[in-house]
């Protein structure tokens, strides 16, 4: 079987690690002649490499030997618009800092995250950028800490004590959007939550509920579940608009869900914004690709990712072996972007 794998070139560093019962990082250290591995383990790894026919990528070995900065990036975000902005920022940051960007797509299970991180670690990354939902993953942070790899959580709703963070104030941003809708005269406002496993979801909901609470009893809010996908926004909007007293405005926790709200409203024959105002969050490209164009919160996704790459590069230059560094927390500004999808509340409401 090993020879068959060799002919197909299918043997990976994970195969070698599983065969020996060690981590991919340990295999990488042996292959690249790094210190810190017991002699018995070295011999076991070398034997497995020979038996399985594993052939390391020459470019990766050269990079590992010469210490070039490599920055890893995990992703599984369902929003294509968010991802495109994220990648643009990562590429700009890598170019500015002279780093090599290594991208791994993975699922959201701990097993999938560990496997993807293992591949990045084996490639010699100095740090890993974690967008949501991985920014919130305890297993991902624990795995990176185990290997002594710098982690930067991007777009998380709260400061993390064990990792560097780049974020906006989600609470304040959601509160500002809610105030915008209240100032337009909307007294019954729907809110569509994002994925439950992200702290930004809770912060945005709290910002909305806080402003609604301040405006009570003249204003009230209706909250529906979503998961940051277009489909979840569409279904949540259908439920909100079917209420006996439907809202005159709906604020969705991201732009993809807000686009789903627009679709549901158009299907019901509602005029936007005359009969229903719709708002999103993030300011991704979809906001100007739908009709009417969406009012939203601009989250500087590309700038946030670029900043995250620079943090990894800076840590690589200043970090001493075995020394710990206080985590960096960079809070970037957001802004309210008012477009044609929001307007004054209907007079007969």
Give the residue extent of every domain in the chain: 1-65, 68-168+301-318, 170-298
Q: Would the pTM of this model clear 0.85, i.e. be above it?
A: no
The tokens for 12 are 């990976």
How far is CA 34 from each of CA 42, 43, 137, 323, rounded to the nearest angstrom? Answer: 10, 14, 30, 19
Which fold, 1-65?
434 Repressor (Amino-terminal Domain) (1.10.260)
CA 153 to chain centre: 8
Cα 73 to Cα 40: distance, rounded to the nearest angstrom = 33
Same fold, 68-168+301-318 and 170-298: yes
Distance (Å, whole) CA 329 – CA 26:
31
The C-alpha atoms of residue 285 and residue 84 are separated, in whole angstroms, by 9
CATH superfamily assigned to domain 68-168+301-318: Response regulator (3.40.50.2300)
The CATH number of the structural domain formed by 170-298 is 3.40.50.2300
Q: What is the pLDDT along the chain (349 residues), one digit of tens a residue?
A: 444 444 444 577 778 888 998 877 677 777 766 656 788 888 898 888 888 877 665 544 544 444 447 899 998 866 777 778 888 888 888 888 788 889 998 888 999 999 999 999 888 888 999 998 899 999 999 999 888 899 999 999 888 777 899 999 999 999 999 999 999 999 999 999 999 989 999 999 999 999 999 999 999 999 999 999 999 999 999 999 999 999 999 999 999 999 999 999 999 999 999 999 999 999 999 999 999 999 999 999 999 999 999 898 887 555 544 445 678 899 999 999 999 999 999 987 6
Q: Sheet harboring 220-224: ordered strands across?
A: 220-224, 188-192, 249-252, 277-279
* Residue where the block lists tokens 């496997």: 115
The 10 Å CB-count burial string (b at 16+, else e) for 82-105 is bbebbbebbbbbbeebebbbbebe
């Amino acid at each position: 079987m090993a020879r068959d794998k060799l002919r197909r070139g299918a043997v990976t560093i994970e195969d070698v690690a599983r065969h020996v019962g060690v981590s991919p990082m340990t295999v990488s250290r042996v292959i690249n002649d790094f210190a810190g591995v017991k002699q018995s383990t070295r011999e076991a790894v070398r034997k497995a490499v020979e038996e399985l026919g594993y052939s390391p990528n020459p470019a990766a070995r050269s990079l590992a030997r010469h210490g070039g900065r490599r920055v890893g990036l995990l992703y599984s975000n369902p929003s294509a618009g968010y991802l495109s902005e994220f990648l643009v920022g990562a590429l700009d940051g890598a170019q500015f800092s002279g780093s090599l960007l290594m991208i791994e797509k993975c699922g959201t299970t701990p097993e999938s995250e560990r496997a993807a991180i293992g591949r990045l670690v084996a490639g010699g990354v100095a740090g890993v950028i974690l967008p949501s939902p991985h920014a919130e993953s305890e297993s991902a942070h624990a795995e990176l800490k185990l290997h002594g790899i710098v982690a930067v959580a991007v777009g998380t709703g709260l400061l993390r004590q064990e990792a560097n963070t780049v974020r906006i104030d989600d609470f304040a941003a959601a509160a500002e959007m809610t105030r915008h809708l209240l100032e337009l005269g909307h007294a019954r406002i729907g809110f569509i939550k994002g994925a439950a496993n992200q702290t930004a979801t809770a912060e945005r909901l709290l910002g909305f509920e806080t402003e609604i609470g301040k405006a009570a009893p003249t204003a009230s809010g209706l909250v529906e579940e979503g998961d940051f996908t277009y489909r979840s926004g569409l279904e949540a909007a259908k439920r909100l608009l079917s209420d006996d007293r439907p809202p005159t405005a709906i604020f969705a926790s991201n732009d993809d869900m807000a686009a789903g709200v627009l679709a549901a409203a158009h299907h019901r024959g509602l005029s936007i914004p005359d009969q229903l105002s719709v708002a999103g969050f993030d300011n991704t490209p979809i906001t100007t690709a739908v009709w009417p164009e969406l009012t939203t919160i601009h989250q500087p996704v590309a700038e946030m990712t670029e900043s995250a790459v620079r943090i990894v590069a800076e840590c690589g230059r200043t970090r001493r072996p075995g020394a710990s560094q206080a985590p960096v927390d960079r809070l970037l500004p957001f802004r309210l972007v008012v477009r044609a999808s929001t307007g004054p509340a209907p007079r007969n409401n």
